[in-house]
A and B are shown apart, each in its own frame.
Chain A
Amino acid sequence: MTTLDLRASHRPHLPLRATVALSVGAWLVAWLAEAPLADWLAFTAFGLERGSHFGEAVAFFLLDVPKVLLLLLGIITVVTLIRGFFPPERVRAALAGRGLLAGTVTAASFGIVTPSCSCSAVPLFIGFVEAGIPLGVTFAFLISSPMVNEVALVLLWGLFGPGIALVYMTAGLVVAIVGGLVIGKLGMERYVEDYVWALQGKGGTVTAITITWQDRIHEAWAYTKELVRRITPYLLIGIGIGALIHGYAPTELVAAIGGRSNPLAVPIVVLIAIPLYSNAAGTIPIVQALLGKGMPLGTTLGFMMAITAISLPEFIILRRVIRWPLVATFGTVVTIGILCIGYLFNALIP
């Protein structure tokens, strides 16, 4: 009976359904109560003046921090649960043998639900190549997976609204699909390390391991808690800086650096984004405040895409499977794609 005892000690004591129902209920109550509570705290409990720099900054902080944390906890748990049904092993099976265009589109779409982690890029790459999936299709996936990731989407939705989150997702998919097709056309197969080709057809296959709903929910929650714990410090700093900008930064300053009058705004923000790789939690709140201060949408989108998609650690880690010319091509294609999106939206939305 040791088996059962060990398992029981790590399980919640309430039945699964009750725990889920209670959590969903608590989440909804918190979600509805959050905005009025933040307002009340700032302007009634703390007695700050409405419209004052300090008052608006504090209210912004109090409103955004719980809102984003609630969204992250709720949505990442659900997304992680869904993602459990699309492991890369299954994605690979779905991609093998598809036409080039269909394969590229499917690969980019799968990138939305699969986890983004620079350390998973290499096993994915080898696994795809091993199964005979074309290089362009593989890169479509590698571009979309970190760029269209759930943390960025949740933050965009929470701070900017669903419209911009959707625009970002669509733009990200377009960059991934076009980027994948371009890299596929360039015929750079010879820049893939020889040992990767040698592995082709040699990989073992694992049998699918069945997982119970209880395990799925338990793990999704554990993963979400760990992720939120890890990004919360960045989030607090980001929202804090965002709040300061919101309350204090003069609109003219933002307009001068990132505004429409500066034709180099898009490449400048992309450059700034490079060292901020994948720190969406810390930067998106700042970007939101900048958008509020008059930074155009295209520049804003370009900045966020560069943060999530241009990741130096990922490029370095990919060097283990591909040679520098292909790494550089990958980086260049992604960067050009992001610049195009930035200029396009700046031109479209006056």
Chain B
Amino acid sequence: MKKIEVLGPGCNNCVRLEKNAREAVAMAGVDAEVTKVTDYAEIMAYGIMSTPGLVIDGKVVSYGRVPSAGDIAAWLSE
């Protein structure tokens, strides 16, 4: 099972990213769990300053932008 983490304190973009991530899971048809990381110390530990960030299986795949569900699905099926 893949582990998707949405890094962000809960602003508009973070909500959009979480929605896209859930859509992507359905699109790619993979088994994945989407969790939100809202704790600043945890977010910063990934080295990003611009939220929202997206982490798949511990690897930062995007930050400071909201990738589309299609993009995320493509990363998931890589």
Contacts and interface: CB of A to CB of B under 8 A. Distances in A.
Contact of B47 (A7, A11, A195, A203): A203
Given A84-B65, A206-B46, A9 B70 contact: yes
A14 B40 CA distance: 41
Interface residues on B, range: 35 or more
A205 B69 contact: no
Interface string A226-267: 100010000000000000000000000000000000000000
At the interface, is chain A mostly helix, strand, loop or mixed?
helix
A320 B41 CA distance: 11
Contacts of B74: 3, 6-7
Contacts, number: 102
At the interface, is chain B mostly helix, strand, loop or mixed?
mixed
B68 A209 contact: no
A203 B48 CA distance: 8
Interface residues of A, number: 41
Contacts of B16: 226
Contact of B44 (A9, A118, A127, A230): A127
B69 A195 contact: no
A10 B9 contact: no
A199 B44 contact: yes
Interface string A300-321: 0000000000000000010011
A206 B47 contact: yes
Interface in A38-96: 84, 87-89, 92
Interface string A11-23: 1000000000000
A124 B49 contact: yes
Given A6-B73, A123-B50, A88 B40 contact: no
B68 A10 contact: yes
Given A119-B10, A209-B63, A7 B70 contact: yes
Contacts of A124: 49
B45 interface: yes
A283 B76 CA distance: 43
A123 B28 contact: no
B47 A6 contact: no
Contacts of A317: 9
Interface of B: 8-14, 16, 27-28, 40-41, 43-51, 60-71, 73-74, 77-78
Closest A-B pairs by Cβ, 4 of them: A204-B47, A10-B70, A127-B49, A119-B11
17 contacts: A3-B77, A6-B73, A89-B47, A89-B64, A117-B13, A118-B11, A119-B9, A119-B14, A120-B50, A123-B49, A123-B50, A126-B44, A209-B63, A211-B65, A219-B67, A219-B68, A230-B12
Given A6-B77, A88-B50, A123-B51, 4 more contacts: A117-B12, A119-B11, A126-B44, A219-B66
Interface of A: 2-3, 6-7, 9-11, 84, 87-89, 92, 117-120, 122-124, 126-127, 130, 195, 199, 202-206, 209, 211, 215, 218-219, 222-223, 226, 230, 317, 320-321
